[in-house]
A and B are shown apart, each in its own frame.
Chain A
Amino acid sequence: MKQVLEGSHAVAEAVRLARTQVISAYPITPQTHIVERLSEYCADSTLAARFLRVESEHSALAALIGAATCGVRTFTATSSQGLALMHELLHWASAARLPIVMANVNRAMAPGWNIWADQTDSLAQRDTGWIQLYCENSQEVLDTTIQAFRLAEWLNLPVMVNLDAFFLSHTYEPVDLPKQNVVDRFLPPYQPRFQLDTEKPCAFNQLAPPNIYMEMRYNIQTAMNDGLTFFDQMEDEFEDNFGRRYGPVEAVHCEDAEVIMITSGTVTSTSRQVLGELRKKGEKVGLLKVKLFRPFPVEAIRERTASAKKIAVIDRNFSFGASGIFAQEIRAALCNHPGHPLVFGYVAGLGGRDVTTAVLQEIYWLTKGNDMVQQDSIWVGLHEVDHAVGQS
């Protein structure tokens, strides 16, 4: 059944359909519509979950670490500064192998205060051991959130579902809302592999000396590697039940493309339009959308870009002193692959600035017109700024 849903409410519907048992959250713009809707569902018993209204994002994740160790299905939502405050416990949740699901509304980091779309918040958490997924539209938000519980509980790793501030979180779109019984079939009740139990007392997360710590970390990486395989298997089942699949990456017209634009999040939708316009003019351009960021789908990216001469990575994020973060990852994925395409990195849309069709056209023509990569990142659409040089 199609309903017109706000992106935030698509998250809330998925959490309801997943029969989540404990929710804990702290409000932050633009995540609030998610937790407000879930609060209503808990208040009117639409969802039989305990909702902990804690005093910080740090405590929100801490509470879920406690709840998930008891073997129940858990969810939180945050954004930007809130995610940064959770940083310590992001590591904790993954190393404790807890299948916590989180929606993160991608928002710029302060200062200056900025509540608009920017992926630096979640990408700065890339080394914390969380599976990371990026969404393009509200349907994908709903589907991915349901999928996230399957991934998390199968792999015993936490999953972060990312959606762009406002472009997704506050935008209404028609969404196919699945039936409860179909979701139940895809996502049966959580069967924990371990839990706090007075009948079988165990110590969790205790002192791990050098003789064991490294193996514990290796196990997490093994689970991440398994995640790449399990993602496809999970999506097979998802497609059987819901008739949709997304893939860790989605390639559009990449087979014969000479230039492939690589995107994530809502920039992808605008890029689809630009792709159509350019193709009509006879340009051999393709589009590769990256949905799964951790584990990074290296093989899929290598395969889909094999025929291209050039890649244009569009990053709504930045790692200071280096480059756009998707561009870094893609360079690293390709560098040992003989004859790989040139990787051009573009930074656009930071802090919610529009990435328009004109911006994307400019990126395409810049890429096509250059035969050498002269810098790791080209900042697109910069206004006149005082460029600080050295100490001046």
Chain B
Amino acid sequence: MQLVNLERDYMFPGHVGCPGCGAAIAMRFVLKALGEKTIMIIPACCWSIIAGPYPQSALKIPVLHTAFETGGAVASGVRAAQDVKGDKETTVVTWAGDGGTFDIGFQALSGAVERNENFIYVCYDNEAYMNTGVQRSSSTPYGAWTTTTPGQQWKRLRKKNIVEALVAHRIPYAATASIAFPEDLVRKVTKAKSITGARFLHIFSSCPTGWGIPSEMSIKIARMAVQTNIFPLYEVEEGIKYTINFTPKGYLVNEYFRLQGRFRHLSEKDLAHIQEMVDEDWHLLLRKAGSVAEIS
């Protein structure tokens, strides 16, 4: 997929995201791939604000803002209504943050995927409740400071593996993607659009405000997350067929952590422990992908 061919933008200039917002970048690329025949459902998240207050909208497609935990259910209803109306052309998309996906919206998402509802669920993941001021979610990674995991109470629990949870539903298509790999992201959106049934995209979307990084580092940090295996790029078809889309070059996690304010308190020992966890997760993924590749 040549990005240069996707000239049309479906975002107006003038959204109200923070400088360097990964979620705004993610939206721009996803809409380029989806096109204008798209209805978007946005449960409470940063994008409830980024899209702009009444009577303005930053998006050129119809948007339905909904309650926090309803992303899976509202999309089911929109799809059902469009089907009843005979509209087979429009793509129905839920666009939710990690809180609305991993936590409060997980039940509705699980229900919708179990029913194999015909829509795309996109989670743009900034790894905490950023819209409310950086509180921990079940997507917040091990080691992170948030306003509800302050000081020595930094999060000592793993990030929930949302893709694997949905793969357990035998979802027709699930994939991770990153704002730092736009060709891969656009290809996955295009692929998801061509599939019928429930589809899930997990997009790593850096948050300069919440992570304590300069706004110009947004893409670099997202790229490093992939390069270090912290956020591997892969896709799973029918809950069985794994494809790893990026083979890492064996970077260690230290530099990724050292660049972000939210990890400033971590000791060398903590980072060594995190490296072990990342390696373990990567090996597990390799096993699922049927790969015999060894990590360097």
Contacts and interface: CB of A to CB of B under 8 A. Distances in A.
Nearest to B53: A207
Contact of A55 (B59, B79, B114): B114
A66 B74 contact: yes
Given A70-B82, A204-B64, A207-B52, A59 B38 contact: no
A321 to B, nearest CB: 29
Nearest to A50: B80
Contacts of B67: 62, 88-89, 92
Q: Which of A64, A71, A204 has the most CB of B within 10 A?
A: A204
A52 B77 contact: yes
B206 interface: no
B114 to A, nearest CB: 7
Contacts of A212: 54
B64 A205 contact: yes
A168 interface: no
B39 A63 contact: no
B76 interface: yes
B49 A71 contact: no
B36 A198 contact: yes
B84 interface: yes
B70 A89 contact: yes
Contacts of B53: 206-209
A91 to B, nearest CB: 9
A67 interface: yes
B11 interface: no
B73 interface: yes
A59 B70 contact: yes
Nearest to A49: B84
Nearest to A205: B65
B108 A198 contact: no
Nearest to A65: B74
Nearest to A26: B111
Contacts of B51: 203, 206-207
Nearest to B80: A50
Interface string A58-98: 11101111111111101000000000000011001000000
A201 interface: yes
A21 interface: yes
B83 A50 contact: yes
Contact of A56 (B49, B60, B78, B107): B107
Contact of B90 (A49, A56, A198): A198
10 contacts: A24-B76, A24-B80, A58-B73, A66-B77, A69-B78, A89-B70, A201-B60, A201-B61, A203-B65, A207-B53
Interface of A: 21-22, 24, 48-50, 52-56, 58-60, 62-72, 74, 88-89, 92, 196-198, 200-209, 212
Q: Which 5 A-B pairs have the closest CB atoms?
A: A66-B77, A55-B111, A63-B77, A70-B81, A62-B73
